[in-house]
Structure 1
Amino acid sequence: MSSKNMTKKQVYTFFERLREQRPKPSTELNFSSSFELLIAVMLSAQATDVSVNKATDKLFPVANTPEQILALGLEGLKSYIKTIGLYNSKAENVIKTCEILIGQHNSQVPDNRKDLEALPGVGRKTANVVLNTAFGQPTMAVDTHIFRLGNRTGLAVGKNVLEVEQRLIKVIPEEFMLDAHHWLILHGRYCCVARKPKCAECVVSDVCNWRDRFDFGAVKPKQPKAED
């Protein structure tokens, strides 16, 4: 069940606390170029960052440009990423994407949503991650962690990922927007987890609107003493 939406003051405090906790948040995917980031994010769909990093740590030293990936060929690429879920379809999308990057974008990763979403295997979420992390644009990629966190805490209540994304863009103060995506993913991944959220050690539990948070250890606010 979703919580009621936070107030402006709650939202500001929420991100102020997350910034204090992680002053310089970043993606946990390993990459050293916009192309490496694009490929890593494409491979991360329905897979963990850890599993993707294990594969790309071997792949990227051998092939980290569109031309080098194509030179590997489909089967060659699969041999590097076969430990990742859905690797067959992902490999096909990566090969097709490399062909388009070479043919239409001078081997460069586009810095706009339209061209990114035209690439095979690149949806809105992947495009948002690349635009934010590689190009410093204030986008919001909503994954399962952020969708859960937005509805649970009342930060951004929505029936689907697009509603949550639009709500987050509307309510997050500009000073937090660039890093907000990373703060929310990390908080959802390590604290506001699905089954047993760690409310007892949560830095924002006092501004969270989830009514069950006290059952998971959130400290109840002190009631003012009654006057004599």
Structure 2
Amino acid sequence: MYFFLRNLSIIEICYILVIVPNMLANILSRGQRMPFLGCALQMHLFIALGGAECFLLAAMAYDRFVAICKPLRYTLIITKALCLQMLALACVSGFTLSLTLTTLIFLLPFCNSHEINHFFCDIPAVLFLACSDTRVNEIAVFLVCLIILLIPFLLILISYAFIITAILRMHSAEGRNKAFSTCAGHLLVSLLHYGCAIFIYIRPKSCYAPEQDKIVSLIYTNVTPMLYPIIYSLRNKEVKGALRRLLKSCN
């Protein structure tokens, strides 16, 4: 679990660095310009890191499934080699799918207005500027999102269906509480990440709502990554104790 958490944190840091510094620079400076290749690179890295995170969250769900449903075989199934393979597969899949999708989008002809109504080069905002028919590109976006978002999310839901069934069969209340505590952080992070991403990307271009998309994008690129350390740290007894002391001092 800590192997996956460490690598999830690294991906999150890189994910934030792709978006936030440029966003802050645009807010603080008058010139809000980005080169064409810079915009393409930002989109590629954003999709790649987001995709890698989606696959990694699915791998973490499988790790929790084995830990709770097959605890006696955990060390035999979840080996260091398997963890490295799942991490490599998550990263390679994310970057490969991202490169394909970014190339398809930036080969489109764009209109005279190159003003992106967004705070970064996001897929719907860039597609909205295209002059030609974008149906093929929209299908490509849908298929990539199906692979990156819906399939891993479905695997997570299936894993948690087995996990919840196994937890409910436990006779010990302490064992059930420990199992729920182990999975609660990952499940909450998964719901936040996939919920926002599915809302933005699994829909046609005709439903594009710039102002609404900017608010949701701001949440999942800035707010939710800040919540992840808090969510996972609340499992730590020392953090819980410090939080209780802080709340008592405030009262």
TM-score by length of 2: 0.28
Larger helix share, 1 or 2: 2
TM-score (norm 1): 0.30
